[in-house]
């Protein structure tokens, strides 16, 4: 049993999705893992804790202008059609699922929404239910560190917003090799003719510009007075701290942020065709659409 599966098993067994680092390390010590492999549960526990904390403040990011511009770029490149089945990778609070439904006029057959932290998605579905609304999603707890539990040529389309470059390891592959392996998984499960829309921080990203561009929303007097929303500045600074951590991990090669020409070359090597790019999020993020050719 590899270390990532150990962590995944502990997450599923722990109360409310919480895992315990001591239990993780104990489980690793009892297995036949190599010494270097035993270190992985700690790294993935750190990742899980980071993204669970980020999930708590993520809704405030969605309120800011730069994020709304990112959503518009993603929606522009999405092309879902009636009766299709889609995958929302790293679904978070299901915003990409909502964009897929909006763009299709609510006519997609279904959306598989996967993440390792499902609470934001569950809260979004509960919130929609209170309004008498719903999304045609099936939630599944899935780690991107391993092959996805879907057959070849299964999905008509895939949406993945700011998630694929953050995979720190895929079956012992790291860095650019891990990103390539994850993109190959997207290619494998796409139907011929299907398309992937995904986003990634640009090479040498600087999220300070996003924070500056978000200040008008954080300092919105109307929200403070009318909606009694006094959390925006505090949450904005917390988002900045997380964003700068992501930026630093990209600089260290823990996450993989590549130049656009290198990304395009990688995508074409895998077999994708017809790449289209949009720069957004105060020009700090690339949104890309690529197709799996009908004949491969």
Encode pLDDT of 205-218 as tens digits. Answer: 999 998 888 877 76
Query: Are residues 146 and 173 in contact, defined by beta-carbon separation less than 8 angstroms?
Result: no
The alpha carbons of the chain give a radius of gyration, in whole angstroms, of 19
Encode pLDDT of 6-53 as tens digits. Answer: 444 444 444 343 333 333 333 333 333 333 334 455 677 788 888 888
Q: Same structural domain for residues 76 and 127?
A: yes
Q: Same structural domain for residues 22 and 74?
A: no
Encode pLDDT of 160-204 as tens digits. Answer: 999 999 999 999 899 999 999 999 999 999 999 999 999 999 999
Judged by DSSP in three states, 123 sits in helix
What does the block give as tokens for 19?
A: 């895992």
Q: Same structural domain for residues 41 and 157?
A: no
Q: Same structural domain for residues 163 and 198?
A: yes
Q: How is the beta sheet containing 85-89 ordered, strand by strand?
A: 137-141, 110-115, 85-89, 155-160, 190-201, 285-291, 273-280
Q: Same structural domain for residues 177 and 272?
A: yes
Q: Same structural domain for residues 31 and 161?
A: no
């Amino acid at each position: 049993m590899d270390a990532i599966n150990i962590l995944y098993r502990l997450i599923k067994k722990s109360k409310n999705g919480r895992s315990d680092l001591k239990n993780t390390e104990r489980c690793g010590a009892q297995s036949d893992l190599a010494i270097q492999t035993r270190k992985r549960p700690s790294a993935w526990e750190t990742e899980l804790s980071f993204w669970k904390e980020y999930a708590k403040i993520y809704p405030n990011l969605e309120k800011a202008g730069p994020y709304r511009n990112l959503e518009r770029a993603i929606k522009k490149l999405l092309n879902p059609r009636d009766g299709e089945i889609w995958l929302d990778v790293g679904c978070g609070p299901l915003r990409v699922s909502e964009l897929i439904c909006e763009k299709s006029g609510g006519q997609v057959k279904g959306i598989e929404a996967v993440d390792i932290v499902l609470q934001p998605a569950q809260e979004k579905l509960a919130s929609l239910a209170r309004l008498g609304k719903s999304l045609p999603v099936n939630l599944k707890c899935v780690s991107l560190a391993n092959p996805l539990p879907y057959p070849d040529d299964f999905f008509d389309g895939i949406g993945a917003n700011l998630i694929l470059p953050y995979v720190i390891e895929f079956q012992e592959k790291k860095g650019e090799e891990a990103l390539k392996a994850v993109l190959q998984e997207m290619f494998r499960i796409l139907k011929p003719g299907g398309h992937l829309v995904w986003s990634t921080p640009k090479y040498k990203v600087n999220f300070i510009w996003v924070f500056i561009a978000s200040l008008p929303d954080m300092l919105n007097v109307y929200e403070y007075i009318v909606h009694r929303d006094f959390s925006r500045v505090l949450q904005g600074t917390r988002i900045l701290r997380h964003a700068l951590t992501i930026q630093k991990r990209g600089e260290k090669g823990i996450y993989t942020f590549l130049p656009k020409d290198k990304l395009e070359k990688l995508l074409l090597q895998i077999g994708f065709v017809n790449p289209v790019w949009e720069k957004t999020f105060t020009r700090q993020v690339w949104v890309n659409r690529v197709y799996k050719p009908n004949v491969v």
